[in-house]
Structure 1
Amino acid sequence: MSLDSKTNPQATAATDVEAVSRQLAALREDLSRLTETVSGIAGRRSSRMAADIAEGFDEAKHYAASKGRSAEAQLETSVAAHPLMAIGLAAGAGFLVGALSRR
């Protein structure tokens, strides 16, 4: 056998190194695209979650304000209907707070 018929080990190694380098470059490019895709998906999901949370807070705020107005109206009605009892309850609460604060 002559040297020409045998493969040159250095040429084969160089070709293998070039092939591995091309594959690594392709892998880096694929990873870069995958990173961009995942970042985009995460950004859209976080935007949607932030919007949902803000909407939930708005609903809770409106609910609390509505219940507060309702409770205030009921309290005013009760005080108007029973003014002496309201004064007695206020005085009793004042004495209780005063007694607890002295300790």
Structure 2
Amino acid sequence: MSPDSKTSTKATAETDIEAVVHQLAALREDMSRLAETVSGIAGRRGSRMAADIAEGFDEAKHYAESKGRSAEAQLEESVAAHPFMTIGLAVGAGFLVGALSRR
């Protein structure tokens, strides 16, 4: 091999190494941007999911409140319509609780 070919081979190798270094730097930047993008997407999805869960809890709370009021109104109507039966059921429940607590 002549000295010129050695110099040329060395220069080509250095050029190739520089190209690889630049490509690795570009790859690092791309990976960094990709990580930021994925992080942003995950954050937005998490926020939306938390908002959906909070909305679901609010709906469940309102549903339970309305059903509770409805059940309370029905119970009051039933007690007002059948006061003696209500007293009899209360007495029966009291005897049952008393009998179970003696054991």
TM-score class, shorter-chain normalisation, is: 0.7 to 0.9
Report the RMSD for the aligned CA atoms in angstroms. Answer: 1.7
> Aligned partners of 1:43 and 1:51: how far apart in 2?
12
Unaligned stretches of 5+ residues in structure 1: none
- The answer for the alignment partner of 1:96 in structure 2 is 96
- The answer for the alignment partner of 1:51 in structure 2 is 51
Task: Decide which structure has greater helix share.
Answer: 2
1:14 pairs with 2:14: yes
Map residues 78-89 of structure 1 onto 2, 5 A cutoff. Answer: 78-89=78-89
> Aligned partners of 1:54 and 1:23: how far apart in 2?
46
> Aligned partners of 1:25 and 1:101: how far apart in 2?
78
Identity %: 82
State TM-score, norm by structure 1: 0.86
Residue 19 of structure 1 aligns with an amino acid whose one-letter code is A
Once the two structures are superposed, what CA deviation does each residue of 1:8-27 show, in whole Å capped at 9, x if it has no partner? Answer: 34433333322221111111
> Aligned partners of 1:21 and 1:95: how far apart in 2?
88
Unaligned stretches of 5+ residues in structure 2: none
Deviates more, 1:76-85 or 1:18-27: 18-27
> Aligned partners of 2:81 and 2:65: how far apart in 1?
24
Once the two structures are superposed, what CA deviation does each residue of 1:25-51 show, in whole Å capped at 9, x if it has no partner? Answer: 111100100011111111111111111
* Deviation of 1:102 (Å): 3.2
* Deviation of 1:7 (Å): 4.3
How many residues of Structure 1 are paired with residues of Structure 2 in the alignment?
102
> Aligned partners of 1:98 and 1:36: how far apart in 2?
67
